[in-house]
């Protein structure tokens, strides 16, 4: 671990493998994505839809990097349970509070692996007649997609390892790490 990593990872060190994306790299890329979204949505500020819980850190930093009067809402979906592989069965745990009709909507997602959950969300939200519906994913796992994805914004393409940190978890742990690590422990 370098000096840019979370200062206190001793409690998690036995479960963490290598650093996939450092805290400094995450911060730099989030600023770049925020600037790009600001340019792209200049005339129609988007509604940011955070997919809980994994995208909460990303959403918090991203919305502050966007120089527009954005609005936010939250959805919670489940396809993992306590596992480290998606079940492929998507369950809506918390739905949106706002109407999407004629709104420019940007889904903020933590990681896209199989793409099944994101595909379901796009269909589910697309049925609500938004003016536009795009995705901003922090991570895209290489070679894992079972569904063709058209992602407008991607932070990083990473290997297909299971990762934790910066909002990503196993059994609700490791979300508070500043960097993104491979997970080598037991779920």
Residues classed as catalytic = 113
Cα–Cα–Cα angle for 69, 72, 75, rounded to 5 degrees: 165
Asked if residues 154 and 135 have their Cβ atoms less than 8 Å apart, the reply is no
As a whole number of angstroms, the distance between CA 90 and CA 117 comes to: 6
As a whole number of angstroms, the distance between CA 112 and CA 65 comes to: 22
DSSP string, 49-87: EEEETTTHHHHHHHHHH--S--EEEEEEEES-TTSSS--
Q: Which residues pair with 140 in a beta bridge?
A: 112, 157
> ω into residue 53 within 30 of 0, thus cis?
yes
């Amino acid at each position: 671990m370098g000096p840019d990593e979370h200062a206190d990872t001793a409690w998690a060190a036995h479960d963490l493998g290598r650093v996939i994306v450092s805290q400094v790299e995450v911060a730099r890329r989030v600023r770049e994505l925020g600037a790009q979204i600001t340019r792209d949505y200049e005339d129609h500020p988007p509604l940011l839809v955070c997919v809980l819980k994994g995208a909460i850190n990303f959403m918090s930093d991203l919305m502050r990097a966007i120089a527009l009067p954005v609005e936010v809402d939250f959805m919670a979906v489940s396809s993992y349970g306590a596992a480290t592989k998606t079940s492929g069965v998507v369950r809506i745990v918390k739905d949106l509070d706002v109407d999407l009709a004629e709104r420019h909507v940007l889904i903020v997602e933590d990681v896209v692996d199989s793409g099944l959950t994101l595909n379901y969300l796009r269909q589910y939200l697309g049925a609500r007649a938004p003016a536009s519906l795009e995705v901003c994913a922090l991570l895209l796992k290489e070679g894992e997609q079972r569904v063709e994805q058209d992602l407008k914004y991607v932070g990083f393409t990473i290997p297909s390892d299971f990762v934790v940190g910066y909002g990503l978890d196993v059994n609700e742990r490791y979300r508070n790490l500043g960097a993104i690590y491979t997970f080598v422990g037991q779920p």
